[in-house]
Amino acid sequence: MGKSSNPFSFRRSTTTNTTTRRRKNAVGESPLLQSPSPAREEHAPAVVVGKVKKKASGARLWMRFDRSGESEVFECDKSTIIKRAGIPPRDLRILGPVFSNSSNILARERAMVVNLEYIKAIVTAEEVLLLDPLRQEVLPFVDQLRHQLTHKKHSNTSGNQGGSQLALRDTETNLSASGRWLNAPEANEGLPAELPFEFQVLEIALEVVCTYLDSSVADLERDAYPVLDELAKNVSTKNLERVRSLKSNLTRLLARVQKVRDELEHLLDDDEDMTQLYLTRKWLQNQQSEALLGGAGSISFTNGSHHLRRLSSVKSGSMLTSANLNDDDVEDLEMLLEAYFMQLDGTRNKILSVREYIDDTEDYVNIQLDNQRNELIQLQLTLTIASFAIAFETLVAGLFGMNIPCHLYYIEGIFEPFVAGITAVSVVLFMLVLGYARWKKLLGS
């Protein structure tokens, strides 16, 4: 009786043992506190690799170009790009798939965000970060960028061999007795000024985009005129469907050209935005500010500013003629944007001319249809007049068909003259009504 008096004793002890084992596994025998076995060491790297793959799942493919034309392709996530280029996170959304059809050229403190059609890049004073470089549409931009930067590197290398001694002579001639840098543009008057690095990249992007849009417009013109001429000759469902597809393509192409054109027009209307796009200028100003804060003497500062001038000539490709950079000078960028703005305006005019030709063809087709509709109405009116005349003859025949006594029934040989008479009356009635309709110009002459 003593053993059976507590029927839950066995269950309680089992629960206690289970709880004890769980606590040992959780605290005393934790796999993290034990010495790792060889089997566990083999599986540990697999967990780490899985975490890395999970982090890399949000990365996208980028290509980097430096000033010398050297390039590399790598995968990188958003946070790394933001830290490297120094842009806000919202700018990466502009380069994302949501705003893929928009056109933007944004100026930031250290970078320029370019989103033109399929070219999506982040340009700094020293490098270019290009998104999705392996797309078929982006490859011409990649090839042209590599070719131009590499050609510039070779030309600078050959030019710098003979220019090092000239730079030393310029240092002596451009320094006054007080140790200040003199404005001597006559020393560089014969040399053509090159665009800064960021504007060279922007020029290549605009050139590739404008060339692509021009070729698209040329293809549209080549396909449009035969289709419209065929529609003018034969108005059919097939030709109308082809013209409808043509108008859809034209509307989309016009919207794309208009977006790029509006973005360039917005930049041309705002000098402050164009000033912010001078990344190399701001980079040189930062270098000069650091040299000023360095606390060197007047002679050393003059030498430093001369060094910065030579550095700017090599890195940005622009010949600076004064130690103080002019922040309001946007003539180079303005001329660049105006050239491509005029090219896009010409492309837009070509599209508008095609659309005007489509509208003219549609007006011509509508005139043809209206003419056919008028002819049908005239035919219907003529048939209505004929039906009215025949209805008169039918009325007379119906009246004599009644069983009403009439002396004409007893006259022999009266049928043929009577039928001929009422038919002649119907014809005369038809001609009278038809002449009245022509007199009122209800029917064509």
What confidence tens digit (pLDDT) does each residue in 13-30 have?
444 444 444 444 443 444
Report the phi/psi class of residue 192: left, alpha or beta, with left for phi > 0 and alpha for psi in -120 to 50: beta
As a whole number of angstroms, the distance between CA 175 and CA 182 comes to 6
> Can you read off the two tokens belonging to residue 229?
């001429």
pLDDT band at 160 (very low <50, low <70, confident <90, very high): low
Q: What is the largest CA-CA distance in the chain?
A: 146
Residue 40 domain flag: no
- Based on the domain organization, do 263 and 381 belong to the same domain? no
Residue 48 domain flag: no
Domain boundary among 313, 339, 368: 368
As a whole number of angstroms, the distance between CA 219 and CA 163 comes to 48
What does the pLDDT average to over 190-197? 67
pLDDT of amino acid 283:
85
As a whole number of angstroms, the distance between CA 298 and CA 312 comes to 21
Sign of the C-alpha dihedral computed for residues 118, 123, 127 and 129 taken in this order:
negative
Residue % of the chain over a pLDDT of 90: 38
Residue 45 domain flag: no
Check which CATH number belongs to the domain holding 73 and give it: 1.20.58.340
Domain boundary among 368, 396, 422: 368
Sign of the C-alpha dihedral computed for residues 223, 226, 228 and 231 taken in this order:
negative
- Based on the domain organization, do 360 and 377 belong to the same domain? no
Instruction: Say yes or no to pLDDT of 159 above 90.
Output: no
Q: Which residues, in sequence order, are bridge partners of residue 325?
A: none
Residue 56 domain flag: no
- Based on the domain organization, do 339 and 387 belong to the same domain? no
- Based on the domain organization, do 258 and 302 belong to the same domain? yes
What does the pLDDT average to over 2-9? 43
Strands of the sheet with 60-66, listed across from one edge: 71-76, 60-66, 127-131, 119-124, 111-116, 104-107
Query: First-to-last CA distance in the chain?
Result: 130
Min mean pLDDT across 7-21, 249-263, 382-396 is at 7-21
Name which of 444, 436, 396, 439 is nearest 419 in CA terms. 396
For residue 250, how many other CB atoms are within 10 A of its CB? 19
Strands (E), 278-422: none
- Based on the domain organization, do 252 and 394 belong to the same domain? no
Residue 445 domain flag: no
Instruction: Say yes or no to pLDDT of 32 above 60.
Output: no
Instruction: Say yes or no to pLDDT of 6 above 50.
Output: no
- Based on the domain organization, do 427 and 303 belong to the same domain? no
Residue % of the chain over a pLDDT of 70: 68
Instruction: Say yes or no to pLDDT of 366 above 90.
Output: yes
- Based on the domain organization, do 351 and 413 belong to the same domain? no
pLDDT of amino acid 191:
42
Residue 86 domain flag: yes
| Position with higher pLDDT, 210 vs 174 | 210
Q: Express each pLDDT in 227-247 by its tens digit.
A: 999 999 998 999 999 999 999
Tell me if 224 sits within 8 A of 354, measured CB to CB: yes
As a whole number of angstroms, the distance between CA 110 and CA 328 comes to 18
Tell me if 209 sits within 8 A of 340, measured CB to CB: no
Instruction: Say yes or no to pLDDT of 187 above 50.
Output: no
pLDDT of amino acid 431:
93
Tell me if 68 sits within 8 A of 223, measured CB to CB: no
Instruction: Say yes or no to pLDDT of 89 above 50.
Output: yes
> Can you read off the two tokens belonging to residue 366?
């509508």
Query: What is the residue-averaged pLDDT of the chain?
Result: 75
Question: What residues make up the domain containing 120?
Answer: 66-368
Which residues contact residue 260 at a Cβ distance below 8 angstroms, ignoring those fewer than 6 apart? 103, 116, 117, 209, 210, 213, 344
Residue 46 domain flag: no
- Based on the domain organization, do 154 and 183 belong to the same domain? yes
Cα 28 to chain center, whole Å?
63
Number of domains in the chain: 3
**Which alpha helices (H) appear in 29-99, and where do they start and end?**
38-56, 78-85, 89-94
What does the pLDDT average to over 211-217? 94
- Based on the domain organization, do 199 and 184 belong to the same domain? yes
As a whole number of angstroms, the distance between CA 341 and CA 335 comes to 10
> Can you read off the two tokens belonging to residue 442?
């209800």
Residue 52 domain flag: no
- Based on the domain organization, do 407 and 340 belong to the same domain? no
Report the phi/psi class of residue 127: left, alpha or beta, with left for phi > 0 and alpha for psi in -120 to 50: beta
108-to-81, 99, 322, 337, 429 alpha-carbon distances in Å: 14, 19, 25, 18, 88
pLDDT of amino acid 28:
42
What does the pLDDT average to over 111-126? 91
Instruction: Say yes or no to pLDDT of 320 above 90.
Output: no
Q: Express each pLDDT in 269-313 by its tens digit.
A: 988 889 889 988 888 888 787 778 765 544 444 444 444 444 444
- Based on the domain organization, do 317 and 429 belong to the same domain? no
Domain boundary among 311, 341, 368: 368
pTM score, whole prediction: 0.67
- Based on the domain organization, do 271 and 418 belong to the same domain? no
